């Protein structure tokens, strides 16, 4: 029987047994977040402030899109760096659970494992974007064709969206072990994940949903604690490089890494349980 609860709690077990490693990973994420925040403030601080102000007083989506347009290029520039940091830290998490242990401390390394995860993350982002775009295009076509049918047409569109959502969720669950198995086997493991998760979509969904719920609680707690740094900084909102904003960004980045461990670790232990042959062979 698949131990869904144990799988969901793997991130907490990892954190309890390796507190220094997780703290270092969180520190790396915090340093990266501060660096990006300072660079964005230098490159597009005024545009970012205008966009945030527009979000608080939304007049129209057109106005909001216009405020966001100057920031698009800036955020796209940092996207590959964010994927790289995520790949290095994910590999460290997988290495802690699946081995082999890195020669240095805290399971951090730069090598082919990290490069493969970076490529996998990039492909996943592109694939999800393409799938969402295709689904929206088809949904618009269905809405156009079904419009003359009135309520029946609206029902058809709702059914189509429900089918697309269900199919996407099922595919995501069947491929959810791909990152961990890619790390373990040293090759892109889409097929291995699909095979290992056959008949296990429901218990995996339960484990991941439980982990996501726990991660949400950690986020809320971190948000409440982190907000205190802004309460004593009157310049926090207008100035993105103010002390309070920097402390808040570093704190939430560290909380973000803890959340990443909580939601990443279950995939690694599930891979070890469901694809033992592939993991052991690697």
> pLDDT, tens digit, for every residue of 148-160?
767 777 788 888 8
Which residue, 80, 79, 264, 81, is CA-closest to 182? 264
CB 168 within 8 A of CB 180: no
Q: Is the pTM of this model over 0.75?
A: yes
In the prediction, which pLDDT does 54 show? 66
Q: Is 60 helix (H, G, I), strand (E, B) or coil?
A: coil
Tell me the pLDDT tens digit for each residue of 228-262.
776 666 555 545 667 777 888 899 999 999 999 99
CB 239 within 8 A of CB 198: no
pLDDT-flagged residues of the chain (< 70): 45, 52-64, 67, 102, 104, 149, 230-241, 277-282
Sign of CA pseudo-dihedral 77, 56, 253, 267: negative
Q: Which backbone phi and psi does 240 adopt, to 5 degrees?
A: -75, -10
The DSSP secondary-structure symbol of 106 reads G
């Amino acid at each position: 029987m698949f131990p869904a609860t144990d799988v969901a709690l793997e991130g907490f077990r990892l954190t309890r047994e390796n507190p220094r490693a997780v703290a270092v990973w969180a520190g790396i994420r915090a340093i990266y977040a501060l660096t990006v925040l300072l660079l964005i403030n230098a490159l597009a601080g005024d545009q970012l402030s205008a966009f945030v102000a527009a979000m608080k007083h939304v007049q129209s989506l057109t106005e909001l899109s216009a405020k966001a347009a100057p920031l698009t290029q800036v955020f796209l520039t940092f996207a590959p760096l964010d994927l790289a940091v995520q790949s290095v830290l994910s590999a460290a998490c997988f290495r802690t659970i699946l081995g082999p242990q890195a020669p240095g401390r805290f399971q951090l390394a730069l090598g082919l494992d990290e490069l493969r995860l970076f490529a996998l993350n990039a492909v996943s982002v592109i694939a999800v974007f393409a799938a969402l775009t295709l689904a929206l295009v088809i949904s618009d076509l269905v809405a156009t064709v079904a419009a003359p049918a009135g309520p029946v047409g609206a029902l058809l569109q709702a059914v189509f969206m429900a089918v697309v959502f269900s199919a996407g969720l099922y595919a995501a669950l069947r491929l959810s072990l791909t990152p961990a198995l890619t790390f373990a086997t040293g090759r892109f493991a889409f097929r291995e994940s699909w095979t290992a998760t056959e008949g296990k979509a429901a218990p995996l969904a339960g484990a991941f949903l439980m982990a996501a719920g726990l991660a949400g609680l950690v986020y809320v707690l971190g948000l409440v604690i982190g907000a205190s740094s802004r309460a004593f900084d009157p310049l926090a909102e207008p100035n993105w490089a103010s002390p309070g904003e920097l402390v808040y960004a570093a704190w939430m980045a560290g909380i973000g890494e803890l959340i990443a461990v909580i939601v990443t670790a279950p995939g690694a232990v599930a891979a070890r349980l469901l694809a033992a042959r592939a993991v052991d062979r690697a």
